[in-house]
Amino acid sequence: MERIAFLAAALALWTVCACAAPPPESAVPAPPRRRQYLAFSFEEPNDPRWVFVEKEQSPSTAFLWRTLNQPAHTFYVRIATALRDRALRTPAELEAEMKPKLLDVRLPGKLVSGTVSPATRQGQLCLRVDRVSERPGATDQPADRLVTSYRGLYCNHPSDPRLGIYLIYSQQARLGELDPALDELGEKFIAGVSIDVRYGVPAQ
């Protein structure tokens, strides 16, 4: 009987202690995953509305689609490197060579407005591009016309004087429905991209 009483008391004590024990610490959220490409890197968005378009991915290209509620309204970000035929070492050379090409990027419809201006990013020579084009929609009604914007930066890459990097975002919507908040999102995204001298080493 004494043994049974002792075991019962011990069990009761264990139950009280177990109930009074502090809850386990909550799990620490995993840090954002860094997507590393040959010439750039960025933190992978933790918002499920961002979708990596796998067929457009490569060691030197990232393409992300933003899921929106309206089928006629689209938004994407594209970061990519491309090799030129020659080095462009001064702002004048870069603008003379690349401004016409940036204004001639194939977009649906007719160019409505387009500017290209000098800029810098992480110490690299860049051009800021801002283009808008317009085309007919499903009907001839003006409100059905589709407008496409193409904005961002084109920069020299420090790893090779012939290499350039595009940091571009674009949206398409019906006339008058381009969303400034998406432009802000695009600016924030490309601002978070690191131009890397080599794998994992940011340019200064």
Which residue from 163, 171, 165, 154 is spatially nearest to 195, judged by alpha carbons? 165
Question: CATH number for the domain including 140?
Answer: 3.40.1000.10
Q: What is the pLDDT of residue 20?
A: 38
Q: What is the pLDDT of residue 22?
A: 41
Give me the number of domains the chain comprises: 1
Total residue count of the chain as it appears in this document: 204
DSSP state of 200: T
Residue range(s) defining the domain that contains residue 153: 34-198
Residue at 3 is within a domain: no
3-class secondary structure per residue, 58-120: ECCEEEEEECCCCCCCEEEEEEEEEECCCCCCCHHHHHHHHHHHHHCCCCCCEEEEEEEEEEE
CB 93 within 8 A of CB 187: no
Q: What is the pLDDT of residue 99?
A: 95
Question: What six digits make up the tokens of 95?
Answer: 């603008």
pLDDT profile of the chain (204 residues), mean per 10:
38 34 46 87 94 94 93 93 96 96 86 94 97 84 86 96 96 92 97 92 90
Beta-carbon count within 10 A of 73 CB: 17
Residue at 9 is within a domain: no
d(CA 117, CA 125): 11
Q: What is the pLDDT of residue 200?
A: 81
Residue at 13 is within a domain: no
Residue at 120 is within a domain: yes
Q: What is the pLDDT of residue 8?
A: 38
